[in-house]
Copies of this chain bind each other. A is one copy, B any other.
C-alpha cells in the first residue's frame, strides 16, 4: 500500500511542478485578473487564460493526443473556428456607415501599414519570413484573423500572437490617443463631419455578395474569412432567415469562442511561451498597433486635405479594426477637441473596412508565405 501511495504521489502534479510552470500559472492568473477586473476583451482572454492555466498544471495532459483540449484544438488546426467566428461577426456587423461614405474604406487599407512595417521589423529581429508574417498580423487588430494566420504560418507562436492581439485590442484606448493627437492639429480634430446619407436595404444586401465575388476572385486564399464574414452579413441583411442569423451571432459564435479560446490558451505551454520570442512579439505587437494607427490617421489627413476639410483625420485611426473599440476611441478624442463632434458613425466605416482589409492581408500573407 505504501508502494501504491508512493506511485500515486509520483503521478501528482506537484512532483512534476517546475518554476516555469509556476510562472505560467502566475501569467494565467494575471490574465484572468485583467480579463475580469480590467475587462480586457474578456470573451476571449478569460477562456484563453483558463486554457493556459489548465495546460500548465503538469500531468493533466489535456493537450496530449487523446486529451480533452487536444480534440477542441482540432477546430483551430483545421482552420474551422476562425471562419465560424467571422460568420457570427458578419451577422452582427452593420456596413451602413461604410456604404454611406465609400471613400472611408481606403482608411481601412492604410491602417494595414502596421502589418507590413512590423513584418520588416520582425525580419530584422531575426524571425523567419513565415514567423514574421504570423507576428505582423497582430497589426490587423482582429483576433480570428490573427489566430487563423498564425496557426497556418507558425503555430509555435500562436499563443503569444493571440494573447498579444487581444491584449492590445483591449489597450486601444491607451495606445491610440497619443498617436492620434501627435499626428493631427487641434483644428483637424475639431472638424465636424456631415450627416451620413440613408442606406437602402438593397445596398446592404448586395454589398456582401459583391465583396465576396471581388475579394475572393482577386485573392482566393481570403475565401474562408471573407466568405464566412459576408455570408453572416447576408443572412442578417436579407431579413428572411432571422433564425439563422440570430443563431450565428449568438449560440454558434459563443460555442465556438469557448472552444477556440480554451484551445488557443492551451497551446501556451511553458516551453513554448517562456521564450525571448514572446518578449519580441509583445514589442512588435505594440509597434504594429501604433504603426497601423499612424497609417490610418495619415491617410485621413490626406483625405482631409483633398476634400477641403470634409474629413476628420481621426477616423483613420479606426481603420485598424478592433471593432468597436477603435471607433469609440475616435469618438472620445474627437469630442475632446470639439464638444459638438460626433464621429462615432463616421469612424464605424473605416472600422469595419479594417476587418475586410486585414482579412485581405491575411489571405495575401498565406498565399505568399504559407
With a cutoff of 8 Å between Cβ atoms, the chain B residues found around residue A205 in the complex are 36
Pick from B54, B83, B257: contact of A212, CB under 8 Å = B54
Please, which residue of chain B has its CB at the minimum distance from the CB of A222?
A: B60
- Interface residue SS majority, chain A: helix
Cβ-based interface call for A336 (8 A): no
**Contact in complex: A12, B46 (CB < 8 Å):** no
Cβ-based interface call for A223 (8 A): yes
**Contact in complex: A217, B62 (CB < 8 Å):** no
**Contact in complex: A209, B29 (CB < 8 Å):** yes
* Nearest CB of chain B from residue A112's CB, rounded to whole Å: 16
Cβ-based interface call for A191 (8 A): no
Residues 223-251 of chain A, each 1 if its beta carbon lies under 8 Å from chain B, else 0: 11001100100110011110110111011
With a cutoff of 8 Å between Cβ atoms, the chain B residues found around residue A83 in the complex are 68
Q: Which parts of A21-52 form the interface with B (CB within 8 Å)?
A: 25, 29, 32, 35-36, 39, 42-43, 46-47, 50
**Contact in complex: B46, A212 (CB < 8 Å):** no
- Complex CA distance for A201 and B209, rounded to whole angstroms: 47
Cβ-based interface call for A308 (8 A): no
Q: Which parts of A202-223 form the interface with B (CB within 8 Å)?
A: 205, 209, 212-213, 216-221, 223
Q: List 21 A-B contacts (CB under 8 A).
A: A8-B368, A11-B220, A11-B367, A12-B217, A12-B218, A25-B213, A36-B238, A36-B240, A46-B234, A46-B241, A47-B235, A47-B244, A53-B213, A57-B212, A57-B217, A59-B216, A66-B78, A231-B262, A243-B250, A246-B254, A252-B255
